[in-house]
Amino acid sequence: MLIRVGSRGSRLALTQAELAATRLRASGVEIALVPITTAGDRDRTKPFGQIGARGVFVKELEEALLENRIDVAVHSAKDMTSSDPEGLAVGAYVERDDPRDALCGANEIRPGMRIGTASARRKAQLLALEPTLSIEPLRGNIDTRLRKRGERGLDAIVLAACGLDRLGLAHEIGLRLDPSVMLPEAAQGALAFQVRAGEEELVARADDAETRRRVEAERAVVAAVEGGCLAPVAAHHDGTTLTALIAAEDGSWIERRTGEDPAALGRELLDASRRHA
């Protein structure tokens, strides 16, 4: 049996796709990798909010699934929208890697630093932590952002630790930021295998139940918030506690809550944000 696995074409995405292929080959199938370019890959200059925010790295892969050009799409789960499009489902979440954000170029956050990131979530939390920071927009794949840090003389940049680990670049990390300091993006560190609804069995053997439990709770919080607010949102389940936050992008306010019911937690965050309106 041949399974066509779709992936973005970046070095990290293809590394992740090969990880997916290894998991699937173990069940006795043949794999053909199909690189696909997404909107987020084509436009590497505009802030994410101007080209579609969540989903800019997955839409074309989802279209390929729906059009039967591929059988499985491999995503960084954090790039996905908070709910699956009609006709598609996540058939498996691979066991999660390090969900934390990583500071590259420095081993601590100091007043007045110039830090590069394109993430509104990271910007908000960094400025709430240290208002004197200068947060500068930075787009591109991991290699590009690491190079631009030196070219632009930035003191540090913030990247997902899991991506650096997967590419063998852990030596670039000066500090892994604890979730108590910077709450990660919902689903960060997890890979999702998306399939057409009803075809989950194609990838079911790769599913890690504990990763699914945590990631789906995080995605549900974001889904509960996104309908009523465009402010930066973060969510992380550590296995025991589900924590989420909402913040002003300039870091002027931040609301962090914990709870067991993702939908209720999302509503609580929305209510808290409206008090700052």
Of the residues 8, 23, 54, 78, only one is catalytic, namely 78
Of the residues 8, 121, 149, 166, only one is catalytic, namely 121
Per the annotation, the verdict on 145 as an active-site residue is yes
Q: Which of 214, 190, 181 is nearest to 93 (CA)?
A: 190
Structure tokens belonging to residue 3: 């399974």
Of the residues 229, 256, 257, 267, only one is catalytic, namely 229
Of the residues 96, 122, 149, 166, only one is catalytic, namely 122
Helix 209-226, helix 262-274: angle, nearest 10: 30
Of the residues 71, 79, 97, 98, only one is catalytic, namely 79
**Residues 159/143, Cβ–Cβ less than 8 Å:** no
Neighbour-count burial for 43-81, b at 16+ CB within 10 Å, e otherwise: eeeeebeebbebbbbbebbbbbbeeeebbbbbbbbbbbb
**Alpha-carbon gap, residue 50 to 132, rounded angstroms:** 26
Pairing of strands 191-196, 114-116: unpaired
Kindly report each contact of residues 197-202 with a partner whose C-beta sits within 8 Å and lies 24 or more positions away, as own/partner: 197/87, 197/88, 197/89, 199/71, 199/91, 200/89, 200/91, 200/92, 201/91, 202/3, 202/24, 202/71, 202/72, 202/91
Per the annotation, the verdict on 121 as an active-site residue is yes
Per the annotation, the verdict on 162 as an active-site residue is no
Per the annotation, the verdict on 229 as an active-site residue is yes
Of the residues 96, 100, 145, 149, only one is catalytic, namely 145
Per the annotation, the verdict on 212 as an active-site residue is no
**Residues 170/56, Cβ–Cβ less than 8 Å:** no
| Active-site annotation, residues | 78-79, 121-122, 139, 145, 229
